[in-house]
Structure 1
Amino acid sequence: MSEPVAATQPLWLPDGPSTVVHGDNLEVVAALPDGAFQLIYLDPPFNTGRSQARQRTTAVRAEAGAGSVIGFKGRSYERIKGDILSYDDRFEDYWGFLEPRLMEAWRLLADTGTLYLHLDYRESHYAKVLLDALFGRESFLNEIVWAYDYGAKAKNRWPAKHDTILVYVKNPGDYFFDSSAVDREPYMAPGLVTPEKAELGKLPTDVWWHTIVSPTGREKTGYPTQKPEGVLRRIVQASSREGDWVLDFFAGSGTTGAVAAALGRRFLLVDRSPDAVAVMRARFSERPEVRFVG
């Protein structure tokens, strides 16, 4: 059973259990303390053209001065926003929805923390320029390309078979990244390396070849936008330590939490969809330590 959310009941405590919250993510994260999470992974809905309620947040970068964040080429954050919105009007409603949530993500990251923002090819270039402004261009760590080979094949163009994951760190001078903890993968040309290296495998690069969730596989939950555990496993291994807190406030099927729990991390998941919460309740049914609220 979900716990009722009393007015005085905290949704999250740093020494509390891993938690799934059913609620509006902006309202939930706005109540969380600064710097509480080592890793934030966000897989927001892609730009569908639907209007979203425009909610604002007062969170800004600490060094922003008179309310303006200096980013790309020294231009102000508001200027960059304006340039992009005037360039493509279709983006405005989507960014009005996503922008305040990314501002909260910056606030909630620990000083050594990392944000992974998972988008498709239609929005990633807009998001990168705006994240350069919000986080600072020097905080950009990687653009990961997740390539897969399943689904419909276009006949009139190169088929789009990849997503983009933008990686930004809170403090470019002191962030956590442990490549030695990441599962290695086979060499594509093992004959070009020594047998010892071939047996050990190589570290993944910024291009990840990984299939989607199999329609008949053990991971399948039935949630339409479910991401494979293998993709999240690399993220959690590299950018958090055992016992760290991981946040995903577009939680969907709960893959971030499932991977975090398996790797000994604690997690906070947020989603406003009753269907998503029902999927997560079933997924964590054998983990009685996970708390559901809302």
Structure 2
Amino acid sequence: MPIAWSQTSPSRVIHADNLEVLPGLPDESFTLIYLDPPFNTGRVQNRRTTTSVRLAATPAGEALGARAAGTITGFKGQLYERIKGDLLGYDDQFEDYWAFLEPRLIEAWRLLADDGTLYLHLDYREAHYAKVLLDALFGRDCFLNELIWAYDYGAKSKNRWPTKHDTILVYVKNPARYYFDSTTVDREPYMAPGLVTPEKVARGKLPTDVWWHTIVSPTGKEKTGYPTQKPIGILRRMIQASSREGDWVLDFFAGSGTTGAVAASLGRRFVLVDQNPESIAVMRTRFAPLPDVEFVEPPGAERAPAADAALAPTPEATR
């Protein structure tokens, strides 16, 4: 599905399979890419025995082609393809999932600007596999952080420690040039305010790599009705720290569009992709108050209707 897009285009929401759209976007166009792919919690993905990614005839494309072909040296001196084969041999179900995710991560690497950052949001079941594979695919020196988003909501297991966190792996395109500005990030209260000065208490502290943040409340103003919606506060931290005003942000598992809503509120531009009509309907309602957001539907498809306005957040909730 060819999409005519450049950095002079308006912010855009694309209704399509992301792997049909991504190869048509220009190299190194996005300062920040946030991905929240479907978690591998038992669903069956279509198994693929080969990966086919269209590469541009550019130095970046040639370098990526070398990486995708397994000709680079990765983690502990082993080739990427060797590492992938070893890991996938442990878990057939993960092999299906990684066959789905790998070509999309290769495209993410190509689309990141030289000063860009990838945030990959994963379930705890997959994070350890993905960390080793991304070390090899991106290069271990490109690993920046493992963020833990911890929350305390819902039922708790009685026969093990309750699992109340997600993992967000952070990788940069170029470890010598990536953009990061912690001074722009919203601060949070000190957990032990009595141990610091009143001035520090008033100012708050910078978040660490463990983020305590509630999920989207089922009855809160932020709720859009989309089942996997992520909190605005989580996306704000990433976009504040790893992009500047005017930069482009990409999310090709867009869901309810929180990445775009936060990007717009912070003066960034965005491209969102999702193939779920319900997702597009929610985003039509969510972005209706924003000027210059373009929706692109697949050829011959009926326009996805806006969601019920009752499901949409108030303007305050998207800021």
Using the size of structure 1 for normalisation, the TM-score is: 0.94
CA deviation after TM superposition for structure 1 residue 58, in Å: 4.8
Greater Cα offset, 102-111 or 151-160: 151-160
1:246 to 236, 244, 249: 249
The equivalent residue for 1:189 is 192
Q: Deviations over 1:165-195 (max 9, x none)?
A: 0000000011100000000111000000011
2:44 to 50, 58, 61: 50
Distance 1:263 1:52 in 2: 38
Greater Cα offset, 228-237 or 60-69: 60-69
Q: 1:228 corresponds to which letter in structure 2?
A: P
Runs of 4+ in 1 over 3 A off after TM superposition: 58-61, 63-67
For 1:34, what is the secondary structure of its paired residue?
A: coil
User: 1:123-138 alignment to 2 at 5 Å?
Assistant: 123-138=126-141
User: 1:190-209 alignment to 2 at 5 Å?
Assistant: 190-209=193-212
Distance 2:74 2:197 in 1: 45
CA deviation after TM superposition for structure 1 residue 57, in Å: 1.4
For 2:279, what is the secondary structure of its paired residue?
A: helix
For 2:92, what is the secondary structure of its paired residue?
A: coil
Residue 63 (structure 2) pairs with residue 62 (structure 1): yes
CA deviation after TM superposition for structure 1 residue 19, in Å: 0.3
User: 1:82-161 alignment to 2 at 5 Å?
Assistant: 82-161=85-164
Q: Deviations over 1:53-88 (max 9, x none)?
A: 635215577174775232100110100110001112
For 1:123, what is the secondary structure of its paired residue?
A: helix
Q: 2:171 corresponds to which letter in structure 1?
A: Y
Q: 1:69 corresponds to which letter in structure 2?
A: I
For 1:292, what is the secondary structure of its paired residue?
A: strand
The equivalent residue for 1:13 is 6
CA deviation after TM superposition for structure 1 residue 287, in Å: 1.1
Task: Number of aligned residue pairs: give it.
Answer: 287
For 1:172, what is the secondary structure of its paired residue?
A: coil
Distance 1:119 1:267 in 2: 22
Contact map agreement 2:117 2:178 (CA 8 A) in 1:
yes
For 1:110, what is the secondary structure of its paired residue?
A: strand
Residue 269 (structure 2) pairs with residue 275 (structure 1): no
Structure 2 unmatched ranges of 5 or more = 56-60, 298-319
Greater Cα offset, 98-107 or 67-76: 67-76
Greater Cα offset, 175-184 or 83-92: 83-92
The equivalent residue for 2:313 is none
Distance 1:58 1:136 in 2: 21
Contact map agreement 2:70 2:81 (CA 8 A) in 1:
no
Distance 1:284 1:172 in 2: 34
Structure 1 unmatched ranges of 5 or more = none
The equivalent residue for 1:26 is 19
Distance 2:132 2:44 in 1: 22
Distance 2:226 2:294 in 1: 21
CA deviation after TM superposition for structure 1 residue 89, in Å: 1.6
Q: Deviations over 1:182-219 (max 9, x none)?
A: 00111000000011111111100000000000111111
Distance 2:137 2:70 in 1: 12
CA deviation after TM superposition for structure 1 residue 90, in Å: 1.6
Residue 268 (structure 2) pairs with residue 265 (structure 1): yes
Question: Are residues 242 and 158 of structure 1, via their aligned partners in 2, closer, same or farther at CA, if it must alter by over 3 Å?
Answer: same
* Aligned-CA RMSD value: 1.5
For 1:101, what is the secondary structure of its paired residue?
A: helix
Q: 1:103 corresponds to which letter in structure 2?
A: I
For 2:63, what is the secondary structure of its paired residue?
A: coil
Distance 2:265 2:45 in 1: 37
